[in-house]
C-alpha cells in the first residue's frame, strides 16, 4: 500500500471516534430508563469490537501511543461495566 500513513491515520481516527461514541451511548443508556436493560453492556462490547478490528487492520503499523490510547478508552468502559454488574449483584 503506497500511502499507508494516510490510511492508518484515517482508520485510527474513525476507530477512536466510534469507540468514544459507543462508550457515550453506554453511559447514556445506563443513565436513563432504557428499553433494553443490557444496552450499556451491548454498546461496550461494540466498542471493544471496534478496537479489535482496528488492531487487526493496522497490524504492523500501529504505534504504541495509539494502541494504548484506544485500549484505555475500551478498558475504562469495560471497568465501568464490571463495576455496574458488581453493584447489581450486591443488591
pLDDT digits (tens, 9 = 90+) for 29-60: 888 776 777 888 899 999 999 999 999 999 99
Nearest to 12 by CA among 76, 59, 80: 59
pTM of structure: 0.80
Task: Please tell me the distance from the alpha carbon of residue 1 to that of residue 63, in angstroms, as a whole number.
Answer: 18
Task: Please state, rounded to an integer, the average pLDDT across all residues of the chain.
Answer: 85
Q: CA 58, 59, 60 angle in degrees (round to 5)?
A: 110
Residue spans of the domains in the chain: they are 4-90
Distance CA 85, CA 43 (A): 15
51 by DSSP, 3-state: which? helix
Rounded Cα–Cα distance for residues 46 and 38 (Å): 13
Amino acid at each position: 500500500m503506497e500511502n499507508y500513513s494516510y490510511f492508518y491515520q484515517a482508520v485510527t481516527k474513525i476507530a477512536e471516534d466510534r469507540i468514544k461514541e459507543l462508550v457515550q451511548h453506554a453511559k447514556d443508556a445506563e443513565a436513563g430508563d432504557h428499553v433494553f436493560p443490557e444496552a450499556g453492556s451491548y454498546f461496550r462490547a461494540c466498542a471493544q469490537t471496534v478496537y479489535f478490528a482496528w488492531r487487526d487492520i493496522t497490524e504492523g503499523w500501529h504505534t504504541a501511543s495509539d494502541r494504548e490510547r484506544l485500549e484505555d478508552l475500551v478498558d475504562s468502559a469495560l471497568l465501568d461495566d464490571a463495576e455496574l454488574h458488581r453493584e447489581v449483584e450486591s443488591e
